[in-house]
């Protein structure tokens, strides 16, 4: 008999006591967390009976701003909605534009884009690997995750000059060629992170706090995943074996996700908060393997062009195109409509975090308030990615 059935059998409340439902506002949260999100939950005692994610507190109208910026300027808007996946956002927009231009990007630039995308994915996942235990009451892991982030952040900064919004993608390629010795610095950073990951993992997966708060909590079924369009690590933790890098390859992933290659899709079947954390952790290792494969290939390719010469005023031919990429948090889609002008007529974003948060309305009812934060944090979202 479930807890709810026991409550009813005892007269509608715990111990036969009658209870009155209460409506509680959780948030809006401070931007120092995942962003400004509000949850309006209805509780019967400690049990959540209804949950409604309320979004829009960070809305900055990026999709409308795309319409009044030219194709070079929109990249600066694109890399900000998910501030933990900035480079991946840049590349998605560039790939959509390049398709309508029927542009062939230099091989050297394409492999470098793949490398930077995987560094960005590892940075994203390391952030959540450190911040999720913090939300559960375990402070120490975040210091270790940030130590590893700094190693990777240093090489991202060396290439782009930025720590958060890189702005090194250009339509047709990249801002500049690889700095001297940069590939060696990348390999050194990757090996340092790889060698020290067990220290962080021992605090996560051998941690009594994390295990008690996350195992069997917030189990997301395959039906819920499909109904709400949940994607990325959260969906794969529930057994959905889908990854656009393998299933609809772009950049150089078609060569990396082949049998015997470094690319592989990480899945779990439990679908709980702990499984979602395990998928993130294993994906860091996959990304590090992909980065090493990219540095080796770039050495083989050798010097060459890193961008495509463009006219001073770039106009994209009339047409429309939808591109979807496997961002760190899930599917990011870019639907571009051009009328032959120097600015998009329409650029619609399909962001991963939006769907991943909406499923909370179906996931939280039936759980207790004490588990709400553990479930909410395990959905791994960025509110800017919702309020784009």
What is the average per-residue pLDDT within 175-194? Answer: 96
User: Average pLDDT of the chain?
Assistant: 91
pLDDT at 7 over 90: no
CA distance 386 to 374: 20
Q: Which pair of structure tokens corresponds to residue 228?
A: 């709400």
pLDDT at 10 over 50: no
Q: What percent of the chain has pLDDT over 90?
A: 78
pLDDT at 274: 96
Q: What percent of the chain has pLDDT over 70?
A: 94
362 burial (CB, 10 Å; 0-12 / 13-18 / 19+) is middle
243, 332, 348, 235: which is closest to 286 by C-alpha? 243
pLDDT at 11 over 70: no
Task: Name the least confident of 179-183, 269-273, 310-314.
Answer: 310-314
pLDDT at 385 over 70: yes
pLDDT tens per residue across span 327-337: 999 999 999 99
CA distance 13 to 268: 36
Q: How confident is the model at residue 21 (pLDDT cuts 50, 70, 90)?
A: confident
CA distance 360 to 40: 11
Alpha-carbon torsion, ordered 244, 247, 249, 252, to 10 deg: 90
Q: Which helix (H) or strand (E) holds 64?
A: helix 62-65
Is the overall model pTM greater than 0.85, yes or no? yes
Phi-psi region at 380: left, alpha or beta (left = phi > 0; alpha = psi -120 to 50): left
pLDDT at 2: 47
CA distance 345 to 68: 9
Phi, psi (degrees; rounded to nearest 5) at 90: -60, -50
What is the average per-residue pLDDT within 147-174? Answer: 94
pLDDT tens per residue across span 230-285: 999 999 999 999 999 999 999 999 999 998 899 999 999 999 999 999 999 999 99
Q: How confident is the model at residue 5 (pLDDT cuts 50, 70, 90)?
A: low
> For the chain, what percentages of helix, strand and coil (3-state, to nearest 5) are there?
50, 10, 40
Q: How confident is the model at residue 56 (pLDDT cuts 50, 70, 90)?
A: confident
pLDDT at 269: 95
Q: Which residues contact 372 (CB under 8 A, 6 or more apart)?
A: 26, 39, 41, 48, 364
109, 117, 94: which is closest to 336 by C-alpha? 94
């Amino acid at each position: 008999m479930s807890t709810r059935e026991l409550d009813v059998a005892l007269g509608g409340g715990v111990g036969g006591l009658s209870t009155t439902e209460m409506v509680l506002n959780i948030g809006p949260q401070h931007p120092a967390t995942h962003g400004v999100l509000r949850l309006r939950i209805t509780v019967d005692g400690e049990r959540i009976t209804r949950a409604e994610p309320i979004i829009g507190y960070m809305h900055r109208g990026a999709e409308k701003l795309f319409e009044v910026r030219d194709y070079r300027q929109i990249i600066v808007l694109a890399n900000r909605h998910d501030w933990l996946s900035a480079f991946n956002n840049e590349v998605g927009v560039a790939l959509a534009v390049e398709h309508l231009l029927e542009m062939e990007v230099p091989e050297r630039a394409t492999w470098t884009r793949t490398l930077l995308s995987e560094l960005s994915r590892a940075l994203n996942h390391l952030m959540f690997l450190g911040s999720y235990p913090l939300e559960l009451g375990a402070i120490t892991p975040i210091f270790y995750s940030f130590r590893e982030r700094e190693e990777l952040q240093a090489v991202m900064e060396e290439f782009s000059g930025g720590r958060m919004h890189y702005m090194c993608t250009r339509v047709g390629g990249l801002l500049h060629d690889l700095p001297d010795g940069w590939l060696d610095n990348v390999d050194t950073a990757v090996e340092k992170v790889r060698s020290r990951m067990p220290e962080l993992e021992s605090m996560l997966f051998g941690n009594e706090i994390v295990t008690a708060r996350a195992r069997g909590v917030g189990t997301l079924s395959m039906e819920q995943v499909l109904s709400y369009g949940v994607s990325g690590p959260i969906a794969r933790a529930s057994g959905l074996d889908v990854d656009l890098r393998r299933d609809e390859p772009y950049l150089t992933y078609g060569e990396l996700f082949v049998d015997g290659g470094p690319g592989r899709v990480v899945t779990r079947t439990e679908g709980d908060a702990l499984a979602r954390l395990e998928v993130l952790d294993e994906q860091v290792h996959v990304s590090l393997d992909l980065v090493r494969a990219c540095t080796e290939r770039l050495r083989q390719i050798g010097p060459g062009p890193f961008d495509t010469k463009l006219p001073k005023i770039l106009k994209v031919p009339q047409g429309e195109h939808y591109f979807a990429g496997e961002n760190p948090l899930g599917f990011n889609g870019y639907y571009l409509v051009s009328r032959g002008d120097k600015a998009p007529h329409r650029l619609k974003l399909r962001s991963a975090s939006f769907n991943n948060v909406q499923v909370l309305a179906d996931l939280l009812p039936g759980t207790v308030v004490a588990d709400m934060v553990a479930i909410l944090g395990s959905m791994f979202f960025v509110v800017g990615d919702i309020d784009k």
